[in-house]
């Protein structure tokens, strides 16, 4: 049973104004999205149908309706809370963390086949879902994945370690501290973690690190709520 419950996640929620783009933000234009979509599809092996590898929020909030999905493993990559967020699920004053695929290990997730029709339009929708800046640290690339029915090439969003938002490999206690507190204008990091673990479990995917993290985050939220509020005037000298 999950320790991080919807009730605990709700305790983290608060209304946060959108702080707007960060310094150095260079927005993608419609032409940029179309050019990148066409270039990525041109790099797909001939005769291959386009798929996307989902390891986090794409599982529970996809960019399009897919006609088919499969369990898949990406070797040489792992889930990592290595993407700093000063917007969306964090603020410049209290940045959040989001998962990205980073080098090393392996990752079990799902692959979703692009919908029938124009793959360029589906790719554009996916890129707009995952990228907003030309300087993004979350880079799309084709990966070889393993499924029960054989290898499948799928698009995945991976960490650019030279990117300005790359946080590196952080210790679990540090990650848990951030996930238990960070909130942005679209929601909290605790909500993001909860939704990801719940939907992975629905597909019988158990990520041991995420399971540990959800328990650590739940404990931090409970501990913070149990602390007595400071009494008015405590620490002030009488006049």
Angle between helices 172-179 and 208-226 (to 10 degrees): 50
Strand ranges inside the chain, DSSP E: 51-54, 69-85, 96-113, 138-147, 150-159, 183-184, 187-188
Q: Is 19 helix (H, G, I), strand (E, B) or coil?
A: coil
Q: How far is it, in rounded angstroms, from Cα 169 to Cα 175?
A: 9
Q: How far is it, in rounded angstroms, from Cα 195 to Cα 231?
A: 36
Q: Which of 38, 130, 146, 219 is catalytic?
A: 130
Spatial contact of 140 and 130, defined as CB atoms under 8 Å apart: yes
Spatial contact of 120 and 38, defined as CB atoms under 8 Å apart: yes
Q: How far is it, in rounded angstroms, from Cα 103 to Cα 106?
A: 9
Backbone phi and psi for residue 77, each to the nearest 5 degrees, phi listed first: -140, 150
For residue 186, give every residue at least 6 positions away whose Cβ sits within 8 Å of its Cβ, in sequence order, or none. 88, 89
* Residue 108 bridge partners (DSSP): 73
Residue 130 annotated to the active site: yes
Q: How far is it, in rounded angstroms, from Cα 87 to Cα 94?
A: 10
* Residue whose pair of structure tokens reads 């990592």 in the numeric block: 80
* Residue 88 bridge partners (DSSP): none
Active site members = 130
């Amino acid at each position: 049973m999950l320790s991080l419950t919807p009730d605990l996640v709700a305790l983290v929620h608060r209304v946060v104004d959108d702080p707007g783009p960060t310094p150095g933000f260079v927005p993608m234009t419609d032409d940029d999205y179309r050019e990148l979509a066409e270039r990525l599809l041109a790099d797909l092996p001939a005769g291959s149908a386009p798929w996307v590898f989902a390891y986090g929020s794409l599982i529970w909030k996809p960019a399009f309706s897919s006609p088919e999905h499969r369990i898949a493993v990406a070797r040489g990559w792992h889930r990592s809370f290595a993407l700093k967020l000063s917007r969306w699920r964090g603020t410049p004053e209290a940045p959040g963390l989001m998962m990205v695929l980073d080098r090393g290990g392996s990752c079990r997730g799902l692959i979703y086949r692009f919908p029938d029709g124009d793959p360029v339009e589906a790719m554009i929708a996916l890129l707009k879902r995952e990228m907003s800046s030309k300087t993004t640290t979350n880079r799309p690339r084709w990966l070889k994945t393993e499924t029960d029915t054989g290898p499948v090439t799928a698009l995945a969003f991976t960490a650019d370690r030279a990117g300005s938002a790359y946080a590196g490999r952080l210790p679990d206690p540090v990650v848990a501290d951030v996930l238990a507190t960070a909130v942005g204008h679209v929601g909290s990091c605790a909500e993001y973690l909860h939704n990801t673990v719940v939907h992975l479990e629905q597909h019988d995917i158990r990520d041991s690190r995420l399971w540990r993290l959800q328990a650590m985050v739940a404990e931090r939220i409970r501990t913070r709520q149990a602390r007595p509020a400071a009494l008015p005037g405590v620490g002030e000298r009488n006049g």
